[in-house]
C-alpha cells in the first residue's frame, strides 16, 4: 500500500507543506526513517531531527517552527501524536481482519454470537457465552459459562475468563490475563489452618478498557469487582476481589491493589505500587512508582510518593536528607562534642 502526502493530509485534516505527490509505503521512528517512509514529531526533544531525517513525510504539530531548509513534506495537525495514532489504527485495520471459526474449537449450542466474529483454534467457550459483533477470540482462549464479551472487543491468546464475568465493548484483553479467579479470602480456624471463603461474585469490565498481558483480576466474594470505562491496565497487575477502578484511570505494570479498595477516576498510578485493602483513592490522584498506599486519599488531584506514601514534594525533601543521613549524624556528633565542651568549661569555671 502506498499513500501520497495529499491523501494523508486529507485523512488527517492537516495542512500540507511541501510536495503533495511524494509517497510513503511504511512507517518508522524519526531516528530511523528514510526515503519512502512516514514518521512524526510530537515531542520537542525530537524537533532537531527535522533537519537531518530522510523521511519522505512527517506529521508535526501546528506550532512547530522550521528555521532552515528541510527534506520531508510536512503535514501540520493540532496534535501530531494523536494523528499518527489514528493513522496507525486505520493501517492496522486494513492490514488484516480475522474472521470465521477455526477448528477444532469448543463452542456449545447455547453460545450466542454476533456478526463478523473470529474464534481461533483450541478456543474454549462455556455454556451460554455471548459474543457481540466483530469480537475476536484468539486461539487457546478460555471463556467460562455465562461469560459475555461486548462488540468490537479483542481477546488475545491464552486469556482465561472464569464463569459469569462480563466484558464490555471495544475492550482489549492481552495474552495470558486472567479475569475472575477466586478472591483471596480465608477464614482462620482454631487449629491454625484456613478455610476457603467461596467467592461467588464476578468481574465486570466496562467499555474501552485495555488489560495487559498476564494481569490478574479476581472475582468479588459477592457482588462485582468493577473496572470502569476507559481504564488502562498494564502487564502483570494484580487487582483483588471487590476492587473498583474509576473511569479513565491508568495503572502501570506490576502494581497491586488489595481487596475492596475503591480507586477514583482519572488517576495515574505508577508501576510496582502497592495499595492496601478497604481504602478509597480520590479522583485524579497521582501515585509515583514503587509507592505504598496504606491510607485513604480523600483530597482529589494530589501527588504522592514513598512507602508508606505521602505528599510528593515533602517526600522528595525527606529522600534528599536520607541520602545525607551519615552527614547529619556527623553534625549531631560534632554538636554533642561542642556542647559537652561548653558544659565542662562552664563547670570548670
Catalytic residue set: 241
Site string for a second copy, 61-80 (x = CB under 8 A): ------------------x-
Q: Whole-number minimum distance, CB 327 to a second copy, in Å?
A: 10
Q: How far is CA 321 from the centre of its chain?
A: 33
Say if CB 309 and CB 274 are below 8 A apart. no
Cell numbers standing for residue 200: 461467588
Q: Whole-number minimum distance, CB 298 to a second copy, in Å?
A: 18
Q: Sort residue 192 into left (φ over 0), alpha (ψ -120 to 50) or beta.
A: left
Pick the closer one to a second copy by CB: 78 or 115.
Answer: 78
3-state secondary structure of 37: strand
- Nearest 5°: phi and psi at 282? -65, 160
* 223 touches a second copy by CB under 8 A: yes
Cα–Cα distance list, 238 to 174, 216, 301, 325 (Å): 14, 5, 24, 35
Footprint (CB under 8 A) of a second copy, residues 312-331: 314, 317-319, 321-326, 328-329, 331
Q: Which of 181, 184, 176 is nearest to 163 (CA)?
A: 181
Query: According to CB under 8 A, which one of 15, 198, 295, 344 is a site residue for a second copy?
Result: 198
Query: According to CB under 8 A, which one of 36, 114, 256, 300 is a site residue for a second copy?
Result: 256
* 186 touches a second copy by CB under 8 A: yes
Pick the closer one to a second copy by CB: 226 or 252.
Answer: 252
Residue 11 is inside which H or E element, if any? helix 5-12
- What CA–CA distance (Å, rounded) separates 281 from 295? 9
Query: According to CB under 8 A, which one of 6, 11, 111, 200 is a site residue for a second copy?
Result: 200
Q: Whole-number minimum distance, CB 135 to a second copy, in Å?
A: 17
- What CA–CA distance (Å, rounded) separates 74 from 63? 12
Query: According to CB under 8 A, which one of 36, 181, 286, 302 is a site residue for a second copy?
Result: 181
Footprint (CB under 8 A) of a second copy, residues 259-288: 265-266, 271-272, 274, 276
Residue 58 β-bridge partners:
39, 74
* 16 touches a second copy by CB under 8 A: no
Q: Which of 102, 111, 169, 166 is nearest to 139 (CA)?
A: 102
Query: According to CB under 8 A, which one of 23, 116, 253, 312 is a site residue for a second copy?
Result: 253
Q: Whole-number minimum distance, CB 73 to a second copy, in Å?
A: 19
Q: Whole-number minimum distance, CB 96 to a second copy, in Å?
A: 8
**How many CA atoms are closer than 13 Å to the CA of 253, on its beta-carbon side?**
5
Footprint (CB under 8 A) of a second copy, residues 149-178: 156-158, 160, 162, 172, 174-176, 178
Cα–Cα distance list, 337 to 56, 210, 325, 327, 334 (Å): 72, 61, 18, 15, 5
Q: Whole-number minimum distance, CB 296 to a second copy, in Å?
A: 14
How many residues bind a second copy, per CB under 8 A? Answer: 111
Footprint (CB under 8 A) of a second copy, residues 80-119: 81-82, 84-86, 88-89, 91-92, 96, 102, 104, 106
Amino acid at each position: 500500500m502506498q499513500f501520497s502526502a495529499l491523501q494523508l493530509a486529507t485523512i488527517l485534516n492537516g495542512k500540507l507543506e511541501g510536495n503533495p505527490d511524494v509517497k510513503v509505503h511504511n512507517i518508522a521512528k524519526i531516528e530511523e526513517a528514510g526515503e519512502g517512509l512516514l514518521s512524526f514529531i510530537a515531542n520537542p526533544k525530537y524537533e532537531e531531527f527535522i533537519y537531518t531525517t530522510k523521511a519522505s513525510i512527517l506529521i508535526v504539530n501546528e506550532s512547530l517552527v522550521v528555521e532552515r531548509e528541510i527534506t520531508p513534506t510536512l503535514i501540520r495537525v493540532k496534535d501530531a501524536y494523536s494523528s499518527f495514532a489514528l493513522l496507525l489504527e486505520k493501517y492496522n485495520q486494513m492490514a488484516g481482519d480475522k474472521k470465521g471459526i477455526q477448528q477444532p474449537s469448543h463452542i456449545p449450542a447455547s453460545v450466542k454470537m454476533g456478526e463478523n466474529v473470529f474464534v481461533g483454534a483450541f478456543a474454549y467457550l462455556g455454556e451460554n457465552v455471548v459474543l457481540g459483533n466483530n469480537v475476536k477470540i484468539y486461539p487457546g482462549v478460555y471463556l467460562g459459562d455465562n461469560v459475555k464479551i461486548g462488540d468490537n472487543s479483542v481477546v488475545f491468546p491464552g486469556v482465561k475468563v472464569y464463569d459469569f464475568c462480563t466484558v464490555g465493548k471495544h475492550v482489549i484483553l492481552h495474552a495470558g490475563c486472567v479475569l475472575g479467579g477466586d478472591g483471596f479470602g480465608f477464614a482462620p480456624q482454631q487449629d491454625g489452618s484456613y478455610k476457603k471463603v467461596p467467592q461467588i461474585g464476578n468481574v465486570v469490565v466496562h467499555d474501552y478498557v485495555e488489560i495487559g498481558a498476564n494481569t490478574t483480576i479476581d472475582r468479588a466474594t459477592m457482588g462485582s469487582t468493577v473496572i470502569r470505562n476507559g481504564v488502562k491496565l498494564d502487564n502483570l497487575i494484580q487487582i483483588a476481589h471487590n476492587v473498583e477502578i474509576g473511569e479513565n484511570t491508568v495503572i502501570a505494570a506490576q502494581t497491586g491493589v488489595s481487596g475492596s479498595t475503591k480507586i477514583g477516576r482519572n488517576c495515574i498510578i505508577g508501576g510496582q505500587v502497592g495499595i492496601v485493602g478497604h481504602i478509597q483513592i480520590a479522583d485524579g490522584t497521582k501515585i509515583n512508582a514503587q509507592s505504598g498506599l496504606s491510607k485513604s486519599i480523600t483530597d482529589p488531584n494530589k501527588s504522592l510518593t514513598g512507602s508508606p506514601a505521602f505528599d510528593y514534594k515533602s517526600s522528595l525533601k525527606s529522600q534528599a536528607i536520607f541520602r545525607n543521613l551519615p552527614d547529619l549524624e556527623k553534625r549531631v556528633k560534632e554538636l554533642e562534642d561542642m556542647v559537652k565542651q561548653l558544659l565542662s568549661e562552664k563547670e570548670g569555671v
